[in-house]
Amino acid sequence: MTQQVFKVAKKGKSAHSTDPNDFVFHSSYNTFKIIEEGTKTYTLSASTSNQDVVVAHGLDFIPVAHAFAKRDSASQVFAPNGIDVELWGAKLGMSGDITFNYIESDDTNIIFNFDNSDSVTVAMSIRYFILERVS
């Protein structure tokens, strides 16, 4: 029996190409579906490391989650395992007050972990995406 496929090629690419990079969609490959997305606002305590921001995901499985953070007073977004780069200079390196340490998920919650080395509280917004289930 012939394997049937559903393919949508990129503009200028052949639908008969064997390179998956030439397709917008190809039924031989799975896609990340955005099962759920949301925004969590939170105020980080001043001068405190290892702060958990917890969102109950309400799902019956452990989800794969991705997220980005933005301090409300800034016009820049940063990613997990990174810092909110506020100061930069070729001979100074990069520095920021907020560190987005990691994202963790379990069967109940998504947990976003931050450090705040600033001496004042910092209002944050976190945009998260649930893309798949772990199991």
Partner 1 sequence: MASYSSRVLASADDGYWAGGWSYNSSQVGIGKNFLGGDVYSAFRFNSVNIPQGTTITSATLTIVDGENNSKSISTRLYGIDEDDTADFSSDPGSRSKTTAYTDYSQTNQTTDNTNVITVTSIVQEIVNRGSWSSGNDMGFISADQGSSNDNILRYHAYDGSTTKCALLTINWSGASPSASPSLSPSSSQSPSSSPSPSSSISPSSSPSSSVSASPSPMPPFFGIRVAKENQDALSTDSPYNLKFDSRFGTLKYFDKQPINISFDANNDIAGKGTYTHNLGYYPFVEVFVRVYIGTPSGNYEYCPFHGAGATVFYHANYKITETDIIVYGEINGVSTSTWNFDFLVFIYKNDLGL
Binding site for partner 1 (CB under 8 A): 6, 25, 27, 29-40, 54-60, 68, 70, 75-85, 88-94, 108-109, 125, 127-129, 131-133
Q: Which CB sits closer to partner 1, 109 or 117?
A: 109
User: How far is Cα 28 from Cα 60, in angstroms, rounded to an integer?
Assistant: 27
- Name residues whose C-beta falls within 8 Å of residue 101's C-beta, 6 or more positions apart in sequence: 50, 80, 81, 113, 114, 115
Distance in Å, CB of 106 to partner 1, minimum? 10
Distance in Å, CB of 74 to partner 1, minimum? 9
Q: Which CB sits closer to partner 1, 79 or 120?
A: 79
In order of 33, 71, 86, the CA distances from 53 in angstroms are 24, 14, 22
Q: Which CB sits closer to partner 1, 31 or 121?
A: 31
Distance in Å, CB of 78 to partner 1, minimum? 5
E strand or H helix at 55:
strand 48-56
